[in-house]
Structure 1
């Protein structure tokens, strides 16, 4: 009798197939179409206020080589780093406690709802009257912008942990500390990281809004200056740089999320 051959190993897809399955070619194609439409529209109907794509690219390169932009980035990112850091340090524990203890949620739920529905621009006059125009007011607004997402997602992460896992841990003699470290926190980590990523995007938004509406300084001051002088390429270039920074920060947060919650994808 002849021995039957075992299962053949799966063939590795070819280069062309791997390229088609990747997202990068489609993203580059969409960007090329967007840039082409922008260029044609700006040249035909844009006028003074809408620069072409090539003019925006040239202005962006010019800004990246200027000391004025980097000084503005330094001032703006001080409020971003401090405000977002406070939001994470305060929002994650607060969300976990609200998700674990019903009484704490009943006491704080109304304030979370207020922060969710209140237009943040309406808070700016209150901050100006309370703490002035300095760094403190900008940090507070960035914190308020981002902390709600972090608290809500952290609370949701704790709520999503299966109660049967907690009961099983207790039946095996786990202490309250072990329930927190072995069950609750690992189970809530994916939602917590999602909240941090969403809060980071909101923090960048708050950083720009406070400089546009409260004090004309740093990146917000550059936007207002270029708008007032009708320097459309430099205005668009500043916005492109802000968007690029936000995308880089969110990509870094997404990378950290994948590394810390690698087990979640296979669970």
Structure 2
């Protein structure tokens, strides 16, 4: 290979690397985060006080919390309700959404209750749970479920309705039974929407986990927030919120990764059809 050819290959590689960097999301996210952190620090120094720590102070407090056993105990308590409540939301929401999307008659009876769940402020349900099941793990699990199950049901129903009806009619014309229609057409066609509902539901589940601990049970991460607020420990308060946000972003990213893995075939078919 001549020096000119080697230089051309190097230039092509440099262009490819530059293009990958421009197409990636993380450089823009890092830039946005840097601007946000700088703005936070400057504002805290100019206008902040006892209740508004700077960005650097919050980072130090977050690192200190991660070395504290109390935080990990609170995480274990909170995530117990999160895991069980979200699992219950999936067990109830996925079959319910699929059935509502498939059978319009059943949807006529259940649609009003689904709309109630969509428009009702979830914080208003907390006193009802307290009076019906008491204060404890059961009520926390139920509230997390109520928060997240709506997103799962709505997306599953939408996924089933998006399946091309002509595929179902064609399958019936070839003698397919109802079970075969479900396993070969409806469920595979609705899978992308089901995974999207799970991803959106996990974010709502984290929200429910924190709200129930703030308004009903002073335990877990919500209990830490109330504790640091009462003691006017603003850096630790902000650090706890940062940890909750980090957990939520991690879970959503994990759900998105699983969604991309499970529904890769759907994106491949879409790209093939676009050609």
The TM-score, its normalising length taken from structure 1, stands at 0.94
For residues 227 and 83 of structure 2, the distance between their equivalents in structure 1, rounded to whole angstroms, comes to 25
1:91 counterpart residue number: 93
For residues 207 and 154 of structure 1, the distance between their equivalents in structure 2, rounded to whole angstroms, comes to 23
Q: In terms of mean alpha carbon deviation, does 12-21 or 81-90 score higher?
A: 12-21
Q: In terms of mean alpha carbon deviation, does 38-47 or 202-211 score higher?
A: 38-47
Q: In terms of mean alpha carbon deviation, does 26-35 or 11-20 score higher?
A: 11-20
For residues 117 and 20 of structure 2, the distance between their equivalents in structure 1, rounded to whole angstroms, comes to 45
**Uncovered stretches (5+) of structure 2, i.e. residues with no partner:** 1-11, 271-275
Alignment of 1:166-205 (within 5 A): 166-205=168-207
Task: Report the secondary structure of 2:222's partner residue.
Answer: helix
Displacement after TM superposition at 1:136 (Å): 0.3
For residues 203 and 240 of structure 1, the distance between their equivalents in structure 2, rounded to whole angstroms, comes to 17
For residues 223 and 38 of structure 2, the distance between their equivalents in structure 1, rounded to whole angstroms, comes to 30
1:161 counterpart residue number: 163
Displacement after TM superposition at 1:44 (Å): 1.1
Displacement after TM superposition at 1:16 (Å): 2.1
1:78 counterpart residue number: 80
1:48 counterpart residue number: 50
For residues 87 and 185 of structure 2, the distance between their equivalents in structure 1, rounded to whole angstroms, comes to 26
2:28 counterpart residue number: 26
Q: What are the Cα deviations for residues 209-251 of structure 1, in whole angstroms up to 9, with x where unaligned?
A: 0000011111001001111111000000000000000000000
**Aligned Cα RMSD in Å?**
1.0
For residues 63 and 236 of structure 1, the distance between their equivalents in structure 2, rounded to whole angstroms, comes to 11
For residues 129 and 26 of structure 2, the distance between their equivalents in structure 1, rounded to whole angstroms, comes to 43
- Which stretches of structure 1, 4 residues or more, deviate above 4 A after TM superposition? none
Identify, as 1 or 2, the structure richer in helix.
Answer: 2
- Is 1:230–2:228 an aligned residue pair? no
Displacement after TM superposition at 1:132 (Å): 1.0
Task: Report the secondary structure of 1:14's partner residue.
Answer: helix
**Uncovered stretches (5+) of structure 1, i.e. residues with no partner:** 1-10
The TM-score, its normalising length taken from structure 2, stands at 0.92
Q: In terms of mean alpha carbon deviation, does 148-157 or 169-178 score higher?
A: 169-178
For residues 160 and 16 of structure 2, the distance between their equivalents in structure 1, rounded to whole angstroms, comes to 43
Task: Report the secondary structure of 1:51's partner residue.
Answer: coil
1:143 counterpart residue number: 145
Displacement after TM superposition at 1:154 (Å): 0.4
Q: What are the Cα deviations for residues 106-165 of structure 1, in whole angstroms up to 9, with x where unaligned?
A: 111110011111111111111111111110000000000000110011011001101001
For residues 208 and 129 of structure 1, the distance between their equivalents in structure 2, rounded to whole angstroms, comes to 20
Displacement after TM superposition at 1:175 (Å): 1.5
Task: Report the secondary structure of 1:161's partner residue.
Answer: coil
2:7 counterpart residue number: none
